[in-house]
Amino acid sequence: MDDAERAKKAEAGKMGFVGLVALCVSAMVGSGVFDLPKNMSQVAGVNAQLIAWITTAIGIWFIAETFVILSDVKPDLQAGLYKYGEIGFGPFTGFFTAWGYFVCECAANAAYAVLTMSTLDYFFPGTFTGGNNWPSVIGASIITWLLTALVLRGVEVSSTVQKFATAIMLAVVVVFLVTVISHFNLSTFTTNANASQAIPSRGDKPMGSVMHQLMGTMMVTLWLFGGVEGAVVMSGKARNPKQVPKATITGFIICIVMYTLVGMLSLGVYSYGQLAHLTSPSTAYILTDLWHSTIGRDVITVALLFAVFSSWISWIQMLAELPQHAASEDGAFPRAFAHVSKRNVPDFSVIMATLVIQVIIIIAHFDLNAYQMLLTVVGTMTVPPYLISEMYLIKISRKDGEFAKGAKHSPRKAMIIAVLALAYTLIMGVSAGIKYTAIAFIAYAIGIPFYIWARKQYNKPMFTKGEAVFAIIIVAVAVYGIYALMA
């Protein structure tokens, strides 16, 4: 094969604008939209949910815009999150970001596996109860390895499947929205909007102050928008890197509009108390009731499976990308992670990710509330990589020469957006609670031996004084996390 043919093949294996948007949307949506009415109504009433969507739209936009500015100012930093940490704060911070993201998204995929098997229990009643019994573990393992085989076939193949699955999911969401709009009742929507009263006939109970309710929505929305950075992470696979910022914002807009409509319009058909007590996925039961037919549940169930598989593929692609770059460029991961197949896929990284997912699926068998546990872990571990990217943007915004003349964004604008994104991310982290944050650091501490191994392989310096202090802090927090886990 000559150079021209190789270049043509490499170009064919990259993603265009639609593929990048589909990646962002599928990474963010996953299963979340189909149980959104229940998840939000368990912690907040109408007014608090409305405020939550407004503040989330603003806060997540700041986070998304942070990645947009970084991809514009630093287009050469492919697999962004890792490089932002490594260039900005040293190789160990880069590793910390990549490792955290890697484990975090492995847990996300394990959550998808649990939900998939729980959903399939609808078609095979009693077989996959809870999504984490032993038949579920076996089924989830088979599906995980089949999707891994699909990703190993190359970005072009998996992106085509991803676009198809995303289109199916969006079509079903539109059907759901048309249905709830046609049944919307203003009185249902406005009654007990502050969620301050107990109304047994509606299933409503007092939910505390609006601010308390608002804080309760934070972990739900953090899970929903995890993946907004998808196009940035996969920028190395983009046909045109200049399309990455536009794809990021387009994906974010699609998701925030969809989430807000699904959540708020449902409150015009059922009270928050009624929604909170629905069986998951709550949208399936809403359609079943409104259509007076089990066809509604069938439609949502099939759409949920498409959405989960699409998001599953996205995360396998993304979580394999960061370790591959970290290993091949900087020696932050063991050498084997740098290997790329003939189809331009980081195959060793993909297989290692799948093995980690497999282990988490087995561990989830022993947790009675496996799906919620995994969501909490994923949400908490998303915070540090976001914080590091935001701190990097703040850092370069203060230096002369980092922003080229003619750049779309000024250093001052970048600084303001980064500071606001940082503040919002910190609030989300606080909403998770100290306990879960400390537990998440157990996974970060487990990664330190891999970093030491990699640095020895590449004959590179181990830790600077500052990095050694950072590593000690990680281990100390992890020790507290173990104590909190056992308490």
Asked whether the beta carbons of 307 and 26 are under 8 A apart, the reply is: yes
Residue 10, token pair as written in the block: 């490499």
AA letter at 177: L
φ/ψ of 293, rounded to 5, equals -160, 145
Asked whether the beta carbons of 15 and 234 are under 8 A apart, the reply is: yes
Q: What is the pTM of this model?
A: 0.81
* Residue 45 DSSP symbol: -
Q: Where does residue 28 rank: exposed (0-12), middle (13-18), buried (19+ CB within 10 A)?
A: buried
CB atoms near residue 143 (< 10 Å): 20
pLDDT value, residue 155:
61
AA letter at 275: L
CB atoms near residue 134 (< 10 Å): 10
Q: What is the mean pLDDT of each run of 10 residues along the chain (487 residues)?
A: 49 72 77 84 94 92 90 74 86 88 81 82 84 90 89 72 81 92 95 92 92 86 73 70 83 92 96 89 88 87 81 74 70 84 84 87 75 70 88 91 74 93 88 77 89 90 91 93 79
Q: What are the percentages of helix, strand and coil residues in the chain, rounded to 5?
A: 75, 0, 20
Which three-class secondary structure string do you get for 246-281? HHHHHHHHHHHHHHHHHHHHHCCCCCHHHHHCCCCC
Residue where the block lists tokens 């998840």: 39
Residue where the block lists tokens 């927090």: 477
* Residue 197 DSSP symbol: S
**What CA–CA distances, in Å, run from 125 to 117, 118, 294?**
11, 10, 15
Residues 372 and 357: their CA atoms lie apart, in Å, by 16
pLDDT value, residue 468:
94
φ/ψ of 199, rounded to 5, equals -125, 90
pLDDT value, residue 176:
93
Q: Which residues lie below 8 Å from residue 127, measured CB to CB, with a gap of 6+?
A: 120, 121, 135
pLDDT value, residue 340:
85
Residues 35 and 280: their CA atoms lie apart, in Å, by 6
Q: Which residues lie below 8 Å from residue 119, measured CB to CB, with a gap of 6+?
A: 131, 281, 301, 304, 305, 308
